[in-house]
Amino acid sequence: MEGALRFAIVGTGAIAKSYEAAFAGLTCGRIVAACDVDPRAAREFAQRVGCAPFTSYEQMAGEVPLDAVIVCTPPFAHEAVATYFLRRGVAVLCEKPLTTTVSSAIRMLETAEWNGAVFTMASKFRYVDDVRLARKLALDGAIGEVVLIENAFTGRVDMSTRWNADSKRSGGGVLIDNGTHAVDILRYFLGALSDVQVFESKRIQGLAVEDTVRLFVRSESGVTGTSDLSWSIDKELDTYLRVYGSRGTILVGWRESRYRCSGESEWHVFGRGYNKVQAFQSQIRNFCNAILGREGLVITPLDALASVEVIGAAYAALERSHWEKIRHALHDVVAFSNLTGRRVS
């Protein structure tokens, strides 16, 4: 693929396989190197993709010319890996959650800004065709004024041996894991969020972290949203997003998406459901085009920071059992002209 951007993957676990499938159908970029602390995992991934394997990302950076890196390690390592490449001027697409603390996220944004490197967080649901069409319908007033949004990411998954349930590596439990997707979707529809509340349900799996929670958010414009998050129950819904308006409802589903206005008997189908490969490919194309200066990032670094801020406030709300105000850290730090497209005062 002549002219394709040269990508490396750091961390070759389960999420890396989704990128492997996505790159197989793309021409804008190709994977030229893969790194994992497990030599066997790095070697097996590299053999499937046809790239060079490494167990050290520093060695990889020194031996392979790169345009971009995708960080797929557990969250506790995101800052170290991302900032290493950003300092070298290499564009970075970092898997969600961006990191486990607001201070860490700020350092990542500062490094990208100071080195003029393109930087974003991966959050696949913003790139799902049905989600984007649903947002357009809502913004165009198809269902009147948006009043309430409901989201659910639930399923029975044995987390006993997975790093996602090790708070030292992940930053928490289902709230930071599935919740990062939920927060990004809610912000995508509602805009800036002002405060958050969280209630935890009974822990079923005997984990040291939360496995089922209900998240409530309120936007700065006064609209509310909820999200049910669980590794231990399956709500068995055919939808994962419901947008309720003053004149109708939008349903975004796993296999079909539709909307209906008040007084109508028929639903209007506008999407064919969730397509993971399509979402990942759209995400990578947007990242490539941003690197080449052809379009802006769908998820800006400030969107990524905001997700960390909301999750941090959510854990504070969970601990204190009351609504928690979301503090926007960038109001207190230097301007980020390259990250926002405008200077922040």
- Where exactly are the structural domains of the chain? 5-123+279-299, 125-274
The pLDDT value given to residue 2: 61
Q: What percent of the chain has pLDDT over 90?
A: 93
Q: What pLDDT band is residue 173 in, cutting at 50, 70 and 90? A: very high
CATH 3.90.45.10 applies to domain 125-274: no
Structural contact between residues 127 and 275, judged by C-beta atoms closer than 8 angstroms? no
User: Is the pTM here over 0.85, yes or no?
Assistant: yes
Q: Which two tokens stand for residue 63?
A: 């031996």
Indicate if the pLDDT at residue 335 is higher than 60: no
Which secondary-structure segment (H or E) carries 289?
helix 276-291
Please write the tens of the pLDDT for every residue from 127-161. 999 999 999 999 999 999 999 999 999 999 999 99
Going 92 to 134 to 234 to 230, the CA torsion angle's sign is: positive
Mean pLDDT over 111-118 rounds to: 97
Q: Which CATH class, in words, describes the domain spanning 5-123+279-299?
A: alpha beta
Q: Measured between alpha carbons, how far is 120 from 85 in angstroms, rounded to an integer?
A: 13
Average pLDDT taken over every residue of the chain = 94
User: Residue 251 corresponds to which tokens in the numbers above?
Assistant: 């349903």
Higher pLDDT, 345 or 202: 202
Residue 330 has a pLDDT of: 60
What is the predicted pLDDT for the residue at 94? 98
Average pLDDT over every residue of 260-265: 95
- Give me the amino acid identity at 23: F
Whether pLDDT at 328 is above 50 = yes
Q: Is residue 36 over pLDDT 80?
A: yes
- Whether the pLDDT of residue 230 is over 70: the answer is yes
